[in-house]
Amino acid sequence: MISPVIDMTGKTKALIQMKHMVDHYENSYQIGIATRKDNGTWNPVWTKTVTASVPAEMVSVVAENADLNSSTFQFCIFLSGNSYNLNDWYMDDITLFAPYNFDAGIASIGVPNYFLDDTPVNGNVINFGSTEITSLKMSYQIGEQTPVVQDFTGLNLGFGDDFDFEFTQLMSLDPGSYDLTVKIVEVNGQASDDLADNNIVEKAFSVPSQSVSRRPLFEEFTSSTCGPCASFNSSFFNGFTTTNADQITLVKYQMNWPGSGDPYYTAEGGVRRNYYGVNAVPQLFVDGMSTAATGAVVNSVFAQQLSEPAFLNIDGFHTINGTEIEVVGNFNSFVGLSNMTAYLVVFENVTTQNTGGNGETSFKHVMMKMVPNANGSSLTLEDGCLNQIHQVVDLAGTHIEEYTDLGVAIFLQDNTSKYIMQSNYSTEQNAPYYTVTFTKTGNGYTNLFAGDYYYYENGTVTLKAGSKNGFVFDKWIVNGADVTEPNYEFNITANSTVEAVFTEAESFTVDISVEGDGAVTPEAGSHTYYAGSNFTLTAVPAENYHFVKYVINGTDETTNPLEVTVN
């Protein structure tokens, strides 16, 4: 990949950056960045010998050679070796910087998208200027909370140098969704530098109410005409998936190459192939992440994913009647999740009639149908709520060999990152199923949404309710009978109706004032809160002042911050 000609006259230094990730296949090769001028010889300024997959990383390299200070400057990103030895090389955000006189920029922040425990705010700052950076004052702010400010001193950052920062005050938050803003407040004691735009980074994240064990999803793209597929499956992967069958979810997509390809290829498998950008087989994805098809790498990634928490439970059931399958998938989330897709995948446990000459005579967990199709079903989930997908599909015309040998994989995938949030198999049920029709009066919290839910006979219907949005729980009406317990379960034996009834809560006015010099959150003035709701008082004294106490309805409270319940 070669850049266009760039006029760098008068510039003797340049910073070249890129984000990249390498999906390695075998052997070794070299990747790098090089520069030239006047269409001349390429001069490497960064190289890396690749012998294993390279996780996503940022490359920053300072070019300072004779190719600079030229009107015909170019740079390239190159691979030296046989491209057969890698599956993919992903690159993004490729940039060239000439140095400013005085500029620090936040390159990244390392806060995860979801976390439970108290967590630090950290990240990376780069000096984009020619002036050495010796100190930084930085802050982070969560929503409208009081900013946390910290000085980082003793630095020695030249042009292109970076610094990994971490605030000492951890984030300690209740479950919910938050917006984080990280700022560079001062550089070398000065309140501004040459470029303000890179001094602020914002990130949205969520704190779940709980975590559960993860069941990693393994998706293999393979073919019965592929020799390396046979080798990988027979020498390692078949044994691995058998040994770990109770801990993983497995789906295999048969591809229509090499040669004539697998006779069990489907267009839906092709959609999945294009989704991941698969261009070689075997190719393996673990929880949506490309994973080298070697025993050592697979075992390592499997162990890592088992240790990662999940923030929702998935289960489901299916019934088969002739060529028709009915599938119900349940998604119980412990965090708000948006821009997600749920997939229901019908597979055959073992097939034998799709041999293709690579020596394999049987094939495991072969995808037969994606329900309703390869695009899945869009889902938005809320903490503590049950989302359910119900589908009925005719499987006639698929490659199914035995209808008694089918299974269904269920998984939830983030559309942005392609990360698999959780997976599981559904269970086959021969018992009849029933419908629960749910409605709600008032706007309180329930773990169900208005609509129909499906349960097999004697399945447990779990109901949960709570105060929210100024409404308090009154009762359930279950098949015409009042139930006053907010958390209630019953076993279903017939079609049922459930109504949640809420009444509007009483509201109160809270007047907040400040004595002395300082600020308070919520700000001084009148605020309305519903009975039973909570808010947090946070006092920030002005310079030369200190916090003494809150006086709440005549009672002194010296804790700061202070959580207050309105009643």
Percent of the chain with pLDDT over 70: 100
In this predicted structure, what is the pLDDT of residue 567? 83
218: its two tokens: 């393994």
Residue 185 parent element (H or E): strand 176-187
For tokens 């050679």, the residue is 65
Domain 217-428 matching CATH 3.30.365.10: the answer reads no
pLDDT tens-digit readout, 309-320: 999 999 999 999
Distance of alpha carbon 334 from alpha carbon 214, whole angstroms? 13
pLDDT tens-digit readout, 67-80: 999 999 999 999 99
pLDDT tens-digit readout, 478-511: 999 999 999 999 999 999 999 999 999 888 999 9
Q: Where in the chain is the domain with CATH 2.60.40.10?
A: 108-207, 217-428
Closest of 77, 41, 82 to residue 59, by C-alpha: 77
Predicted confidence (pLDDT) at residue 266 exceeds the cutoff of 90: yes
The partner residues of 50 in beta bridges, in order of sequence, read: 29
Average confidence (pLDDT) over 369-396? 97
pLDDT tens-digit readout, 409-420: 999 999 999 999
Residues 6+ apart with CB under 8 A from 477: 483, 497, 498, 499, 501
Predicted confidence (pLDDT) at residue 254 exceeds the cutoff of 90: yes
- What confidence category does residue 144 fall into, taking pLDDT thresholds of 50, 70 and 90? confident
| Edge-to-edge strand ranges of the sheet holding 29-36 | 43-50, 29-36, 74-80
What is the CA 231 to chain-centroid distance, rounded? Answer: 33
Predicted confidence (pLDDT) at residue 249 exceeds the cutoff of 90: yes
- What confidence category does residue 468 fall into, taking pLDDT thresholds of 50, 70 and 90? confident
Percent of the chain with pLDDT over 90: 91
In this predicted structure, what is the pLDDT of residue 533? 82
Q: What is the pTM of this model?
A: 0.86
In this predicted structure, what is the pLDDT of residue 532? 78
Distance of alpha carbon 336 from alpha carbon 176, whole angstroms? 8
Average confidence (pLDDT) over 428-451? 94
Average confidence (pLDDT) over 455-470? 92
pLDDT tens-digit readout, 29-55: 999 999 999 999 999 999 999 998 898
Q: Which CATH superfamily is domain 108-207 in?
A: Immunoglobulins (2.60.40.10)
Residue 270 parent element (H or E): helix 267-276
- What confidence category does residue 178 fall into, taking pLDDT thresholds of 50, 70 and 90? very high
Q: What are the angstrom distances between the C-alpha of 368 and each of 164, 263, 264, 325, 400?
A: 48, 12, 8, 12, 7
Distance of alpha carbon 45 from alpha carbon 338, whole angstroms? 42
Predicted confidence (pLDDT) at residue 470 exceeds the cutoff of 90: no
CATH label, 14-97, candidates 2.60.310, 2.60.120, 2.40.160, 2.60.40: 2.60.310
pLDDT tens-digit readout, 320-377: 999 999 999 999 999 999 999 999 999 999 999 999 999 999 999 999 999 999 999 9
Residues 6+ apart with CB under 8 A from 192: none
pLDDT tens-digit readout, 401-411: 999 999 999 99
- What confidence category does residue 271 fall into, taking pLDDT thresholds of 50, 70 and 90? very high
Q: Where in the chain is the domain with CATH 2.60.310?
A: 14-97
